[in-house]
Amino acid sequence: MRPARALIDLDALRHNYQLARTLHGGRALAVIKANAYGHGATACARALATEADGFAVAFLEEALELRAAGIEQPILLLEGVFSADELDLVIRHDLWIVVHHAEQINLIRKAHPALPLQVWLKLNSGMNRAGFLPHEVRPAWQQLKDSGRVAHITLMTHFARADEPHVHTTAEQIATFDAATRDLPGARSLANSAAILGWSAAHRDWSRPGILLYGADPMPGDPNDLRPVMTLESAVMAVREIPTGAPLGYGARFCAERPTRVGLVALGYADGYPRAVPDGTPVAVDGVRTRLIGRVSMDMLTIDLTDLPAAGLGSRVELWGANVPVNRIAAAAGTIAYELLCNVKRVRFEYRGN
């Protein structure tokens, strides 16, 4: 069997959730959209079921999958609904919805839900991606109330740059949110992972940790107690020696600067490992760091075993995990850990700590 696999440490997931909840205070919606950032939404929801206050996904189908798997906790749809018929399913499956633009209020006003809706009303406090502008939020709140179709309204916003501790925009977004919602009743939710870690002024009734749950620090560098949840690994499936000056792999990007022992690893960009990383990107072989050499291929990649004489056929190769932070690989690829984690596919998923 091909040795490529993603090991998912559910104890680490629970640990990170509790850390988020403790750091922020109040209640925490575990953000498990996009298949729990690539970790497996059902398995992650089940692992958190006894302790999570609720979950957040992007859209209805993601929530229905969780309900079908027996998840009973509150589930918030971060994109809200796209049509009136989705509102019926929202009620039938006891889901919560974000309302972030006027058309969604129109849908609610025209609908006849069997029970009142649980709404999270989103304010655009400066990110300018989704949500009502400060002067629109009070009328939107009133329209929802007047519709007679809404039970509770939670007030929320989302930060554009909370992972940048030295820029002032997060403080401005907090102030904008507070000013626009000052007289409105209801619980508040502002903080994503970076704000949980770095912006205590944003801590209110509910947090919404995402990337932090999976152990990837959105602000790498600061010490913390996060534990990586996913280990992406495979094994050496062939070894060859190449002489000084010999090219290796597509485009001959790498040329051996000394006699080099090359390990061929069964994992490539079709599995979600980024093709963009340069020579020298770290990997760990049986827990010892070495480097990637040569371009990443679709199903394979090559690593330098010259200084690891004990390594050979079958040696375990960690692409990211406890020895190689996923953030390090993301930086090497010019992207973010979120994208790498979401893109893992085709490998075997194995869960520990059920």
Ligand X SMILES: Cc1ncc(COP(=O)(O)O)c(C=O)c1O
> CA-to-CA distance for 258 and 272, rounded, in angstroms?
30
CB-neighbour burial class of residue 219 (10 A; exposed 0-12, middle 13-18, buried 19+)? middle
DSSP letter, residue 221: T
**Binder among 16, 176, 192, 327 for ligand X (CB under 6 A):** 192
In the complex, the smallest distance separating the C-beta of residue 30 from ligand X, rounded to whole angstroms, is 10
In the complex, the smallest distance separating the C-beta of residue 17 from ligand X, rounded to whole angstroms, is 12
Could you tell me the two tokens for 192? 């994503």
250 catalytically annotated? yes
> CA-to-CA distance for 340 and 333, rounded, in angstroms?
9
By CB under 6 A, the residues from 149 to 178 that bind ligand X are 158
Q: Phi and psi for 314 in degrees, rounded to 5? A: 90, -10
Residue 169 or 323: the one with the smaller Cβ distance to ligand X is 169
Q: Does 41 bind ligand X (CB under 6 A)?
A: no
What amino acid occupies position 123?
L
Residue 34 or 284: the one with the smaller Cβ distance to ligand X is 34
Residue 54 or 278: the one with the smaller Cβ distance to ligand X is 54
Helix axes 60-68, 84-92, angle to 10 degrees: 20
> CA-to-CA distance for 229 and 33, rounded, in angstroms?
16
**Binder among 30, 63, 71, 78 for ligand X (CB under 6 A):** 78
Picking from 47, 54, 140, the residue whose alpha carbon sits closest to that of residue 94 is: 54
Q: Draw the binding track, 271-300, toward ligand X (x: CB under 6 A; -: no contact).
A: ------------------------------
Spatial neighbors of 143 by CB under 8 A, at least 6 apart, are 105, 109
Residue number with the smallest Cβ distance to ligand X: 210
Residue 56 or 180: the one with the smaller Cβ distance to ligand X is 56
> CA-to-CA distance for 20 and 82, rounded, in angstroms?
31
Q: Does 31 bind ligand X (CB under 6 A)?
A: yes
In the complex, the smallest distance separating the C-beta of residue 283 from ligand X, rounded to whole angstroms, is 26
> CA-to-CA distance for 130 and 244, rounded, in angstroms?
55
Residue 193 or 290: the one with the smaller Cβ distance to ligand X is 193
Residue 5 or 24: the one with the smaller Cβ distance to ligand X is 24
Q: Which stretch binds ligand X (CB under 6 A): 178-186, 192-200, 320-328, 345-353?
A: 192-200
Question: Residues binding ligand X: what is the number (CB under 6 A)?
Answer: 12
> CA-to-CA distance for 235 and 312, rounded, in angstroms?
9
Q: Does 24 bind ligand X (CB under 6 A)?
A: no
> CA-to-CA distance for 74 and 31, rounded, in angstroms?
12
Q: Pick the catalytic residue: 110, 145, 250, 345?
A: 250
Residue 29 or 71: the one with the smaller Cβ distance to ligand X is 29
Spatial neighbors of 35 by CB under 8 A, at least 6 apart, are 41, 342
Q: Pick the catalytic residue: 33, 122, 269, 338?
A: 33
> CA-to-CA distance for 15 and 163, rounded, in angstroms?
21
In the complex, the smallest distance separating the C-beta of residue 177 from ligand X, rounded to whole angstroms, is 13
Picking from 28, 41, 80, the residue whose alpha carbon sits closest to that of residue 341 is: 41
> CA-to-CA distance for 117 and 131, rounded, in angstroms?
18
In the complex, the smallest distance separating the C-beta of residue 201 from ligand X, rounded to whole angstroms, is 17
In the complex, the smallest distance separating the C-beta of residue 288 from ligand X, rounded to whole angstroms, is 31
In the complex, the smallest distance separating the C-beta of residue 196 from ligand X, rounded to whole angstroms, is 7
33 catalytically annotated? yes
Could you tell me the two tokens for 275? 């093709």
Q: Draw the binding track, 200-239, toward ligand X (x: CB under 6 A; -: no contact).
A: --------xxxxx-----x---------------------
Q: Does 193 bind ligand X (CB under 6 A)?
A: yes
Binding positions for ligand X, rule: CB under 6 A: 31, 78, 158, 192-194, 208-212, 218
Catalytic residue annotation: 33, 250
